[in-house]
Amino acid sequence: MTTKAAAVNGFGWGIAGGAALVALMYLSQGIFGLRPLPQLLNNPLLSLMPGPVFGFLIDTLQHAGKVLEELGLVVAMVAALGVLGAASAVASRRWMSQYLPFAFAGIGWVLVVAVLLPVSGAGFLGLNDGPATPIIWAALFAFYAVVLQYGGQPAPGFDSGRRRLLTAVPAGIGLVSLGALAYELLPGWYRAVFNAPEAGLTGAVTALTPVSNFYIVSKNFVDPSVDGQSWRLRVGGMVDRPLSLSLSQLRGLPSTSEFVTLECISNNVGGELMSTGSFTGVSLKDLVALAGPRSGASWVGFKAVDGYSESLSLDTVNGAPEILVAYELDGAALPSSHGFPARVLIPGHYGMKGPKWLDTVELGTQETRGYWEQQGWDHNALVKTTSRI
């Protein structure tokens, strides 16, 4: 077999093994809680994209944008594993060893756990997600290596009939895994593109948007699921009385309800990314006052469970008692997709200014540029006068 033929053969088996690895990676999400690499790389890759390009894609594609991004990352990951398989096949022409595919799979494992996972925020070896993370990734790459091994040339004296039988095993597992992957991902992708919550609004627009149709926009592939029992809202930084409030304690503070219309900054003219609901929560002004801001504090920063951050000037907060840390929508607890247990609600500003899944309020002297602002979105995010008929 020539070098070119070996590379082509190795690339094909690398694609097969890569597809199986990716499929098993997504299945491991439900079984072991492993976060798929394409979802982890979402934020780092978007931060590298020029703001105008990012804005054009979001404004043009809207809900389809995240689907296409995840699909592109999946394809790129499989292709990279195909290249790794080709390299292994070419190297095997010089070093005849049945363990060579495992060496190249080890290179892939090191690249993931020592480079890509830390870059994505999962920590070295992915240990931020638990001690089992590097072990699970090792198992995935071991399976990939087995596929490469069986896709190589038979060892001398190896029975060809047995070889074909053993080759069918990983190939069959790969096909089953790909089918399971399609079963798991395609329904979610379909809903995101063709059946978004706001897509159910037809005819005359009601004064209040049903919660089931309240628009949803998120930077995440998979939104966080927060345990309301263990969740705490921490108010700290430059304060005299740092707070750590449980959900029941937050609900026990004086509250107010407001009818608020929220709109996404990416909403097209006449678009559906605008909804109105009755929100209940604690005035952010009162919450900050309860913690006792120190002299010199000038900014109120927000951090969310999903890593989202934002900030408002302390003067803005003190001058706008209508800004809420909201925990109810239309008389019921916030749905998870809308930020349970609590979110920041800033009337008159686009939704990007109000983090969902809030867990930290921190006073300081520095402004925190939000995720969307870093992509080139408007800094103040004041809603432009609009209507939907």
Tracing tokens 């309860």 back to the chain, one arrives at 290
Q: Are residues 16 and 165 in the same domain?
A: yes
Residue 274 lies in a domain: yes
DSSP E strand boundaries for 250-357: 256-263, 274-283, 299-304, 309-313, 324-329, 332-333, 343-345
Do the domain assignments include residue 239? yes
**Three-state SS sequence of 170-226:** HHHHHHHHHHHHHHHHHHHHHHHHHCCHHHHCCCCCCCCCCHHHCCCCCCCCCCCCC
Domain annotation covers residue 388: no
Q: What is the pLDDT of residue 69?
A: 78
Confidence at residue 224, expressed as pLDDT on a 0 to 100 scale: 84
Do 121 and 215 lie in a common domain?
Answer: no
Residues 291 and 369 in one domain: yes
Residue 269 has what DSSP assignment? T
Enumerate residue ranges in the chain where pLDDT < 70: 1, 47, 49-65, 152-174, 176-177, 180-181, 184, 187-206, 270, 375-376, 386-389
* Per-position b or e across 144-153, b if 16+ CB within 10 A of its CB: bbbbbbbbbe
pLDDT of residue 92: 87
In a domain, 52, yes or no: yes
Asked if 216 and 157 sit in the same domain, the reply is no
The domain boundary residue, chosen from 194, 212, 235: 194
51 with 109, same domain? yes
Looking at the fold, whether 124 and 218 belong to one and the same domain comes out as no
- Indicate whether 384 belongs to any domain: no
State how many domains the chain has: 2
181 and 206 assigned to the same domain? no
Q: How far apart are the C-alpha atoms of 3 and 189, rounded to whole Å?
A: 40
CA distances from 272 to 118, 150, 160, 314 (A): 37, 52, 61, 32
In this structure, the answer to whether residues 188 and 205 fall within a common structural domain is no
* Domain C-terminal end among 194, 212, 246: 194
Q: Is the peptide bond before 36 cis (omega within 30 degrees of 0)?
A: no
Q: What is the CATH number of the domain that holds 216?
A: 3.90.420.10
Q: Is residue 381 part of a domain?
A: no
Could you tell me if 93 and 238 lie in one domain? no
**387 within some domain:** no
Instruction: Find the domain containing 166 and state its range.
Output: 3-194
**Model pLDDT, residue 63:** 60
Domain identity same for 306 and 158: no
Last residue of a domain, one of 168, 194, 220: 194
Per-residue pLDDT tens digits for 110-164:
999 999 999 988 899 999 889 999 999 999 999 999 888 877 655 555 455 555 5
Are residues 207 and 186 part of one domain? no
Q: What is the pLDDT, as a whole number, of residue 5?
A: 82
Interatomic CA distance for residues 304 and 310, integer angstroms? 9
Residues recorded for the chain: 389
Q: Are residues 213 and 126 in the same domain?
A: no
Q: Give the pLDDT confidence score for residue 52 in this predicted structure.
A: 64
Number of H helices, E strands in the chain: 13, 10
Q: Is 78 part of any domain?
A: yes
Closest to 39 in 3D by CA, of 60, 69, 18: 69
Are 286 and 254 contacting, i.e. CB atoms less than 8 angstroms apart?
Answer: yes
